[in-house]
Structure 1
Amino acid sequence: MALFITSLNSGSNGNCYYIGNEHDAVLVDAGISCRETEKRLHRLNLSISKVRAVFISHEHSDHIRGLAVLARKHNLPVFITPATLQNSRLGSEQFLTVPLVGFQPVTIGDLQIIAFPKSHDASDPHSFLISCKGVKIGVFTDIGFACEHVISHFQQCHAAFLETNYDENLLQNGHYPYYLKNRIRSNKGHLSNRQALALFTSHKPRYMSHVLLSHLSQQNNCPKLVYELFNNHANGTEVVVASRYSETPVYAISANQVLEPSRMYQLFDN
């Protein structure tokens, strides 16, 4: 059974990722409006009625901005750690919340979702591994560095949403104030292109068919630059740059996928 994945939006203006099979799906984060989430799913011929739950990685606004309306309107349970909920300024009475516990599997239909801790400047941040019948998809964004939890889960993935937030030179020479540059490149900040590439080249399993480069900075990165950087080391993995303005195509990920050379058909519109 294949898993279907897409980035509905990826960037500091909002993050939302869809993972599902033919019957059930989940969203990781809800950082764009409910209306935009619905519109983008509709354009992709994906039904919001198949979405069974939302999993929240952390409380920053670009990951929860659209959550309350989306969860209420579609009666979706929200899996969120108590610390994240407490610091999100979202009233738990607005929608159904389920306490999220690291390393404790959540089963939704044939989907299994495991959250695991990561390093980021939030109260209790987690990333996710979503699996179904042997197919595994990872969501690795908002990460200061690739800790052992990130590495061990990345090594299992048939496809991954992988943060490539900034180019070191663009950040260093850009207009951001010194304190913000230090925050971004700290161990509780974001992954640079080179840090993400090191994770990819050192720990990518041979069967990883797709990597979706995610959460690119508008000011401190360049979609074409990071695409070329990864594509030069892809070894058959399809490289996709997730946009901060629109959804990606839907990718069908299976455990027995035949890998082909990457095709440069992304629209560099981040």
Structure 2
Amino acid sequence: LVTHEHKDHCAAAGGLLRRGLPVYMTEGTAQALELPDAEILVPETPVTLGAFRVLAFPVWHDAREPCGFLIDEPGTGDRLLFAADTRGLNRIVPRVALAALECNYCEELLARSERIPDSLKERIRHTHFDLGGLIGYLRKLDLSRCRRLYLLHLSSAHADENRIRRAFSKEFPGLEVIICPK
């Protein structure tokens, strides 16, 4: 499952297709990557892939047709919410058992950064989830069934893992939060 055409999210797609393995993405992503053999996912149209039901849904990012995924396991009723490289989500998702979501930066660190120009700071703000935005989104969800939250795509320069851990411990006590390697 490929979310969009940026190389840090799809680098293996062509090689997997050449080996005869199915790779799923939206039409816009397949066109951007020039991968005519990709399996096409139509946003908001669920498909069954093996034992899973997969729904691609649109997200905000600077790519042709980026998406996130809801992946349901009908046998257990578990649901995974997956979204990386998006400035936010407005979809209220019920019954989330697992979530893997971007937490790219802490606004205070990005604002103070002298390493990047203001134009790049604005691009980051308009295309990536920050700590405050992610917490605000998660507050809108019923996380009573959520066993684990994986935080993805942290910036090495603008995300402070300790600050992020403290914020999630305060806001969502008892929720297991795993910060994935950068």
1:216 pairs with 154, 157, 165, which one? Answer: 154
RMSD: 1.4
- Identify the residue that residue 72 of structure 2 maps to in structure 1: 131
Q: Shift of residue 69 of structure 1?
A: 1.6
2:109 corresponds to which residue? Answer: 170
Partner of 2:56: 115
Shift of 1:59: 0.7
Q: Deviations over 1:56-102 (max 9, x none)?
A: 111111111122123323x21111222111112x343xxx3112101
Shift of residue 143 of structure 1? 1.1
The one-character-per-residue Cα deviations of 1:168-206 (angstroms, maximum 9, x if unpaired) are 0110111111100001112xx101001001112232421
Going from structure 1 to structure 2, the CA distance change for 1:83 and 1:214 (only over 3 Å counts) comes to same
Question: What is the Cα deviation at residue 145 of structure 1?
Answer: 2.1
SS in 2 for 1:218: coil
Q: Which residue of 2 aligns with 1:6?
A: none
| C-alpha distance 194-225 of structure 1, shift in aligned 2 (>3 A) | same
State, as a whole percentage, how many aligned pairs show the same letter. 30
- Cα deviations by residue, 1:220-264 (Å, 9 ceiling, x for unpaired): 1122221121122223211110112xxxxxxxxxxxxxxxxxxxx
Q: Which residue, out of 183, 197, 203, partners 2:123?
A: 183
Aligned to 2:3: 57
2:171 alignment partner, SS class:
coil
In 1, Cα distance between the equivalents of 2:157 and 2:13? 26
Alpha-carbon distance in structure 2 between the residues aligned to 1:199 and 1:223: 19
SS at match of 2:159: coil
Take 2:21 and 2:16, find their aligned partners in 1: how far apart are those partners? Answer: 8
Cα distance, 1:156 vs structure 2: 3.0
Q: Secondary structure at the match of 2:134?
A: helix
8 Å Cα contact 1:209-1:236 kept in structure 2: no
TM-score of the pair, normalised by structure 2: 0.92
Moved over 4 A (4+): none
**SS state of the match for residue 70, structure 1?**
helix
> Counterparts of 2:26 and 2:141 in 1: how far apart (Å)?
28
> Residues 21-67 of structure 1: CA distance to partner in whole angstroms, max 9, x if unpaired?
xxxxxxxxxxxxxxxxxxxxxxxxxxxxxxxxxx1111111111122
Contact residue 92 and residue 140 of structure 2 kept, 8 A: no
C-alpha separation between the residues in 1 aligned to 2:172 and 2:109?
23
Q: How does 1:1-12 map to 2 (within 5 A)?
A: none
Find the counterpart in structure 2 of residue 66 from structure 1: 12
TM-score, scaled relative to structure 1? 0.63
Unaligned runs of 5+ in 1: 1-54, 245-270
Give the aligned partner of residue 143 of structure 1: 86
Structure 2 counterpart of 1:106: 47
Cα 1:81–1:64 shift into 2, 3 Å = same
Q: Which residue identity does 2:25 align to in structure 1?
A: I
